[in-house]
Amino acid sequence: MTEPTSLQLHAAVRTLGLLVAPVRLHLVWLATNGEYDVGTLADRAGVSITTASQHLAKLRLAGLISLRRDGRRHIYTVDDPHIVALVDQILAHIAPDGTLAPDPPARLRA
């Protein structure tokens, strides 16, 4: 395994930094599991459309979420399999009660 470069580490911190806000992580999780317009994302995340739009704009600029137009609607999704895996892995590591999920048996970790 090659040690990460300084540039890789800084880029990773920028990416992870965007996901530290619960609303952003929720929006990204939603977009990894479907294609939604901003109104649906806002409703599902429990925030205003304005708030969702601001977070989605930052996530789009960082390349974490994609936008396509469907008539007058903007549809958001996550196309990058690395982001999908990252979100799936971190949420699989956290139990529904907020504690760390137990580690899988050793044979499954390999």
CATH of the domain at 69: 1.10.10.10
The answer to the question of residue 36 being in a domain is yes
Please state whether beta strands 36-37 and 66-70 pair in parallel, antiparallel, or not at all (unpaired).
Answer: unpaired
pTM over cut 0.95: no
The answer to the question of residue 15 being in a domain is no
Nearest to 38 by CA among 59, 20, 18, 17: 59
In this predicted model, what pLDDT tens digit does every residue of 18-37 receive, in sequence order?
999 999 999 999 999 999 99
CA distance 40 to 46: 10
Instruction: Report the chain's C-alpha Rg in angstroms.
Output: 16
The answer to the question of residue 31 being in a domain is yes
Range of the domain at 36: 22-99
pLDDT-flagged residues of the chain (< 70): 104-110
The answer to the question of residue 85 being in a domain is yes
The answer to the question of residue 75 being in a domain is yes
What's the total number of domains in the chain?
Answer: 1
CA distance 20 to 25: 7
The answer to the question of residue 16 being in a domain is no
The answer to the question of residue 107 being in a domain is no
